Amino acid sequence: MASFPLDPGDDDAFAACEDLLLRTCVVGAGVMGTGIAYTCASHGLPVRLKDVRGQALMQAQHDMQRWLARHGAGLGAAELGGVLRTQLDYQGFECASVVIEAVVDNLGIKNKVLGEVEGLVAADAVLLSNTSSLRIDDLAAGLQRPHNFAGMHFFNPAPLMPLVEVIRGRQTSDYAVQTAVKQAQAMGKIPIVVRDGPGFLVNRILMAYMHAFLRLLADGVDFERIDRAAEAFGWPMGPAYLEDVVGLDIGTLSCDLIFAGYPERMPHLPRNAFRVLLDAGLLGQKGGAGFYRYRSGEDGRLERSVNLQARQLLREQVASEALHLEDGQILDRLMLPMIIEAVHALQESVVGSAMELDRALSLGIGFPPLRGGALRYADELGAAQVVARCARYRHLGEAYEAPPLLRDLASRQGRFHENDGAR
C-alpha cells in the first residue's frame, strides 16, 4: 500500500483548493491529531498534519493505514495521500482557512504553538483547539486575534465518535463559531455549541459521575460490583472499565483538572483510587492491567478479568472496610451527581437546551440509549422523586444537593423536556 508523502509536492491539493472553508491544518500528530487529519482526508478535505517529531508522523501514517484497512470503506491510501500531507514545518499554513491545534495538554506549549500559528496564517483564518482540560479563555489570552479562536473538542477515537463540542470563549466571534460548525459538518460530525468552562459540557458531567465512583470506592464498595450495576443500567462499560480504557494516566490528569474547577461538588479526595493504581504503575488497558487485567485470548480478542492486585491496593490504601450497598443505592450515588451537574450546566446556559445536552451525552459518552440522557432520565423518574432521592444522600455533600431549577420543576411537576414530545 502506498504511504503518504512526507514532503508536499508541486501538485499539492492543498494549495490548489479554492474553497476557503476546506483548507485545514492540524498541529500535533498524536492520538487525536492523527484521527482528526484522517477524518478530514477521508471526507475529501485537503489537510496538512504537522508535528515536531518525525517519529510521530511515521506513527500517524501507520495508524492511518490501519484505519483505512479497518474502516476505510473502499477508500485507498492513494486517495488519502492525494489530499493529506504530513510535515515537520509550517509550509502551507499561510493558505489555511482553519488550523486545529492538537498538541499536548500543556498551557505553555499550547500558547507557544498557537502564537506561532497565528503569526503565519491569514488574518481571517480560524484557530481551533482540541484541548479537553484547558479553558478556551486561558488559551485565547495570549492571542492577537482572540475573536478568531474557539474550541473544537473531538472525542476519542476521532474518526468514529460522532460528537464535536464547539466551544465559544468570551471573545470568540460568531464567525469563528460558524466556521467551526461548518468544519465539523464537512468532517461528517455532529457539532454542539457550548460555553467555555472546566470540562466544557460532556466531560464536566462525566466527571461528576467519576467523582461519585471514586467516593464509592473510598467507602469500600467493590469496583466490579459497581461496574456490574452500571452496565445493567445500560452503560456500555462501567466506570472502572471505562477508566482502564481511557488510561489511568490521562484519566487521572483530566479528573484532577476538571474536579479543581468544581471544588464544591467535586472536592479533592485524599484517598483517590485512580492515583493509588497509577502510583503502582497500573496504566489500564494499554499497559495490560488497571482495575482489570487484559490478555489476548486464543481468538485474538482481548480478555478481561479482575486484577487482584488492584483490589488489594484499594483495600490497603483506599478503604479497609467493605461497605455493602444495594444496586439501587450504587446507581443513585452514581447517577444523581450526574443529573445535578447537568442541571447546573443547563442553568448556567453552557448549552442551549435539555435536548442538546442529552444528545451530547448520548453521542459523546454513550449515555445508556434506553434512558435517553441525564435530563430525560430525571424526567422519567420525575423531578420530585429526584429531589427526594437527593435528600437521602444530602449527608454526602453538595454533589447531592438539588439545584434551584430541579426544585422548581419538582414543585410544579414540570419536566426538562417540556416540549419535545415522546422520545
Which residue ranges make up the site for ligand NAD (CB under 6 A)?
A: 27-33, 50-53, 56, 102-105, 109, 113, 130-133, 154, 156, 250
153 is catalytic: yes
One-letter amino acid at 382 equals: G
DSSP helix/strand/coil, 276: helix
Tell me the closest approach of the beta carbon of residue 104 to ligand NAD, in angstroms: 5
Nearest CA-CA partner of 180 in 142, 212, 148, 145 = 148
Q: Which string of b and e fits 135-153 if b means at least 16 CB within 10 Å?
A: bbbebbeebebbebbbbbb
**Which CB sits closer to ligand NAD, 154 or 259?**
154
DSSP state of 220: T
**Which CB sits closer to ligand NAD, 114 or 375?**
114
First vs last Cα of the chain: how many Å apart? Answer: 46
**Which CB sits closer to ligand NAD, 104 or 370?**
104
User: For residues 240 and 212, what is the distance between their CA atoms, to the nearest angstrom?
Assistant: 12
**Which CB sits closer to ligand NAD, 89 or 418?**
89
**Which CB sits closer to ligand NAD, 39 or 314?**
39
Sort strands 98-101 and 126-129 into parallel, antiparallel or unpaired.
parallel
What are the start-end ranges of the H helices in 164-222?
174-186, 202-218
388, containing H or E segment: helix 383-392
Largest CA distance in the chain: 68
Q: Which string of b and e fits 190-221 if b means at least 16 CB within 10 Å?
A: ebbbbbbbbbbbbbbbbbbbbbbbbbbbbbbb
Q: Which of 43, 71, 153, 324 is catalytic?
A: 153
The neighbour count for residue 17, using CB atoms within 10 Å, is 17
Residues 6+ apart with CB under 8 A from 341: 204, 205, 207, 208, 262, 265
User: For residues 379 and 365, what is the distance between their CA atoms, to the nearest angstrom?
Assistant: 20
Q: Which residues are catalytic?
A: 153
